[in-house]
A and B are shown apart, each in its own frame.
Chain A
């Protein structure tokens, strides 16, 4: 009984760590640029696809995927910021949301056309028998995903809160005019935020590829999970996004095991609905400071 719960929790944390990474990318872009990137799921899908190309198609080493894919997706994201979001900077939120929604579709379709197939399988980084600790099973791959995703996420939080580039993004998030008066260029900070968000999405894709494979549906799954996790965390808090991702993963896993597997997807709806209606500031908001 307890062992079963242990297995469920570990599976939940594994998904949760990936959700956390997805949410983090969304939140970084939103915090710095006030844009919710609905193409984020498609970025992650492209990341998974990149992983497939490197590991399966070209038979390259797995670490190369972890290294190259985030950089490439980051560059693609920065390019998209430059080509599409920058001209729309003065447009209202309605227009921007529509643009990123259809951008996601376009990227997904581009993939489907290149590789005319429904689902591409990607092997895990590690193979081998799981460790068994009092009937709780843990594979190396699971440990790698949990540790890798969480360490990257925490590193990103550190960069954001203590690094020089992070300071620019936080200044921009806090007050765009003030940040400009401190010498930060909107163009450069926005582009970097998109690069970072894109890189996180790409990394999400590499981590998730062995679990789900590569398909167009992946992009919807990632954007939904990332968005819900972000909302749970307050959408403007990086730490909140990580906690929100873990919470969502664990709750989904519990619901799938103890209620029904169909409930798994309904959980995210229920969480999103209740958080938005009753705690729009999220369950883990950042310390609240007075408006200046």
Chain B
């Protein structure tokens, strides 16, 4: 069953075309990694999928339902959650209140219990009453993931969860993402960090300058050093 099907998605800011006719699909329970250098349009693509950015054209289907014209809150309530690049937490909310607020997105589904989130990230339980704004970078990232997860989504989009984090925290995150995947949630991961990408994803799409430059199994991408070619250009020239 196809969880997400994106067809000919185009995203533009004024005259700047950030994403150029992108098509991709994710099977239910699958994990896809979106790779690409800065400015390739990865963030624009995922933000347009959840409706945070307007789409110029193209179609987005979620479990067969056309969600192209819906606004973000409606899309999120369908069970498509995003952990945004800049986390977008509420600094004045406590950890617990943040999670409670996010259960709104469960809509008619049964939300996950807060305990299940604390089970995934025990440090959040210890910080339960602390304000989100006072957490460390890694804890904030965990809270952002917990916030997306508490509404019991069917597909989780993660936009560069590793950015600005120390490698110890990164390992915790990788473990958590693997566990989320094992629980049956499909994952679309936007990453620059190959280490996370290869340990989470099976398939990989590479974006460059807003277009799909390469796609295939993760192993192939690593073997042929596709990423380096796309990032740095042909350095032998």
CB within 8 Å of B: which residues of A? 167-168, 170-171, 174-175, 177-187, 286-287, 289-292
Contact of A181 among B100, B105, B107, B134 (CB under 8 A): B105
Q: Are B105 and A170 in contact (CB under 8 A)?
A: no
B45 → A minimal CB distance (Å): 16
Q: Are B88 and A175 in contact (CB under 8 A)?
A: yes
Contacts A178-B88, A182-B102 given; indicate if A292 touches B133 (C-beta within 8 A).
Answer: yes
Q: Are A177 and B88 in contact (CB under 8 A)?
A: yes
Bound CA span A181–B92, Å: 17
> B52 an interface residue at 8 Å Cβ cutoff?
yes
Q: Are B133 and A183 in contact (CB under 8 A)?
A: no
Interface core residue of B84, B88, B105, B132 (most chain A CB under 10 Å)? B88
Q: Are A181 and B104 in contact (CB under 8 A)?
A: no
Please name the 9 residue pairs, one residue from A and one from B, whose CB atoms are nearest each other, closest first. A183-B105, A178-B88, A289-B133, A174-B90, A180-B72, A289-B91, A185-B73, A183-B104, A290-B133
A235 → B minimal CB distance (Å): 15
Within 73-87 of B, Cβ neighbours of A (below 8 Å) are at 73-74, 76-77, 81-82, 84, 87
Q: Are B82 and A292 in contact (CB under 8 A)?
A: no
A179 → B minimal CB distance (Å): 8
Q: Are A183 and B102 in contact (CB under 8 A)?
A: yes
| Residues in chain B near residue A182, CB distance under 8 A | 76, 101-102, 104-105, 147, 151
Contacts A167-B97, A181-B50 given; indicate if A186 touches B73 (C-beta within 8 A).
Answer: yes
Bound CA span A56–B142, Å: 60
Contact of B93 among A170, A180, A287 (CB under 8 A): A170
| Residues in chain B near residue A178, CB distance under 8 A | 84, 87-90
What are 27 A-B pairs with beta-carbon distances under 8 A?
A: A167-B101, A168-B101, A170-B90, A170-B93, A174-B91, A175-B88, A175-B89, A178-B88, A180-B72, A181-B82, A181-B88, A181-B147, A181-B148, A182-B102, A182-B105, A183-B105, A183-B107, A184-B104, A186-B71, A186-B73, A286-B92, A289-B92, A289-B131, A289-B133, A291-B91, A291-B133, A292-B132
B23-58 near A? 1/0 per residue, CB < 8 Å: 000000000000000000000000000101000000
Q: Are B151 and A175 in contact (CB under 8 A)?
A: no
Contact of A185 among B71, B133, B151 (CB under 8 A): B71
> B140 an interface residue at 8 Å Cβ cutoff?
yes
| Residues in chain A near residue B77, CB distance under 8 A | 183
Within 118-136 of B, Cβ neighbours of A (below 8 Å) are at 131-134
Give chain B's interface residue range (CB within 8 Å of chain A).
20 to 34
| Residues in chain B near residue A291, CB distance under 8 A | 91, 133
Q: Which residue of B lies closest to A175 (CB)?
A: B88
| Residues in chain B near residue A179, CB distance under 8 A | 90, 101
Q: Are A183 and B90 in contact (CB under 8 A)?
A: no
Within 10-30 of B, Cβ neighbours of A (below 8 Å) are at none
Bound CA span A82–B71, Å: 16
| Residues in chain B near residue A292, CB distance under 8 A | 87-91, 132-133, 140
Bound CA span A287–B131, Å: 11
Q: Are A175 and B90 in contact (CB under 8 A)?
A: yes
Bound CA span A184–B148, Å: 13
Bound CA span A66–B160, Å: 53
Interface core residue of A170, A182, A185, A290 (most chain B CB under 10 Å)? A182
B190 → A minimal CB distance (Å): 15
Bound CA span A63–B91, Å: 41
B161 → A minimal CB distance (Å): 14
| Residues in chain A near residue B106, CB distance under 8 A | 183
Q: Which residue of A lies closest to B105 (CB)?
A: A183
Q: Are B101 and A181 in contact (CB under 8 A)?
A: no
Q: Which residue of A lies closest to B99 (CB)?
A: A182
| Residues in chain B near residue A184, CB distance under 8 A | 73, 101, 104
| Residues in chain A near residue B107, CB distance under 8 A | 183
Q: Are B84 and A177 in contact (CB under 8 A)?
A: yes
| Residues in chain A near residue B50, CB distance under 8 A | 181
Q: Which residue of B lies closest to A187 (CB)?
A: B71
B236 → A minimal CB distance (Å): 42
Q: Are A180 and B73 in contact (CB under 8 A)?
A: yes
Bound CA span A32–B105, Å: 19
